[in-house]
Structure 1
Amino acid sequence: MAGVQTFSYRGAARFSTPGRLIILHPDELHDGGAGGEDGLTYRMIYLPPEKIMAALEGLATALPFVRDPVADDGQMRASLIEALDELDGEMGELKRDGLIAEIAHHLLRLGDARGRAAKSIDRRALALCRDFLSECAEEAINSQRLEEIAGLDRFTLARQFRTLYGTSPHRYLVQRRLSRARAMIIAGAPLAEAATASGFADQSHMTRHFAKTYGMPPGRFRALTLAAHAEEEKHPASPRHCRGLRR
């Protein structure tokens, strides 16, 4: 995040700068420190190897090994930023499982694990999950609930869902909740009520996701909506008259 990271890994001296990723295999010894007087700031995730292998069931026969420990990969960086953003709070199970599936996929792509042919996508099972997420977005939904609906394990479900719909089950659920909250705010509901009725833990939880998605906090969105309604009341639209075309 800041400064220069220096470390020894697999018999060589390495370094990394802000924005780059350091990927270390659990069986390899390493050290680490700051490469300058200004110090170092970084964030790290330890992922148990068994979680990675569970997420790659049917795709790999061995734990991926990334030979170059310093990577500059935009796709994996985006997944890690999302995961690291939640480290100061409690990450929900559904989001955690989806992120593990994503990170495992990136490790497989960057590494040299022996692969298998991917299994076909169960479109019917995924459609059932999608419909459930849409219709029951206000409920507390976890990975086990989706496993029961789909008949798939959570990592296969997360991987196939992303392949078919372009997003994880958790992100899909958040977007459905945001759509409900937005509609309630436009209808005049208080922000706290819109948050809880849409399935968010509280107003601050909704605010964080709302600002990420719509580029402004819900309070600002509500103020703009009220201002637009007031302007419409002062200046109602004039009725339109259609005129026939002359031949």
Structure 2
Amino acid sequence: YLHMILWAFVPGLVTGFLQRLYYSIAYPVDSRSRPTKGDAKYHRHYRYIYTAVVLGYLAYTIAETRHQLPASHYAELNLTPSAFSSRDLKLNFKRLSLQAHPDKNDGRDTQFIRLRNAYETLNDPVRRFAYDRFGLEQAQCQACRTRHDYQASALPGILGYYIGTGVVMGLFALFGKGSFGSYWRWLFLCAMLVIDASLSVWSDSWLGALLSFIMPGLTPREQITVLHRVYISFFIAVNQIGPL
């Protein structure tokens, strides 16, 4: 929600500041040629600056999205999701757990417990499948035993995101908001649903390989999370620039 609030206010505030700064440099205070509100030239300058600010803020939010992801089990154990062996997993866990053992850290066991949980999850092929595709919360499902169990448990949450997003988009359209680029918003939302479903059902798919090429070092669930955030940021930006 904070992200959407910032998108609603930051571009306009920054644009106003930059336009005033530009006019203070380009036009003397008493210059008759200085554009004022209501002038076509003023509006054109505002549009150019606003577009540049929105595109810059979009680039920043996309770049920042990956860094906002919490540390994964792979990062905890210094592993790469697509390139490690069972031996690597055991050796890294042994080395790191010795360093983080409570006996060597004045009884503090937080890091040791995190390492142990990460190891137990990644060492179990079924739980690792669930963690990679559905995230930590689903991987901790106590009633799940098979891949099908995890898939069935995760399905309501996955569908809930897309249904909720669709409802919000429908409400915006109902009140005459966000009409610019609505076709592409719906198309990309459906495309993300297909990608999400593909990664949830098939262990190895060409979509998964493509996402791993574009976003190396991330699990499928992290890749989908990045896509969700980029999707929201991109279409907020388009909706702000389009009507200008």
Shorter-chain TM-score tier? under 0.3
Task: Tell me the TM-score normalised to structure 2 length.
Answer: 0.24
Structure with larger RCO (C-alpha < 8 A, sep 6+): 2
Of Structure 1 and Structure 2, which has the larger fraction of its residues in strand? 1
TM-score (norm 1): 0.24
Q: Which has the higher helix share?
A: 2
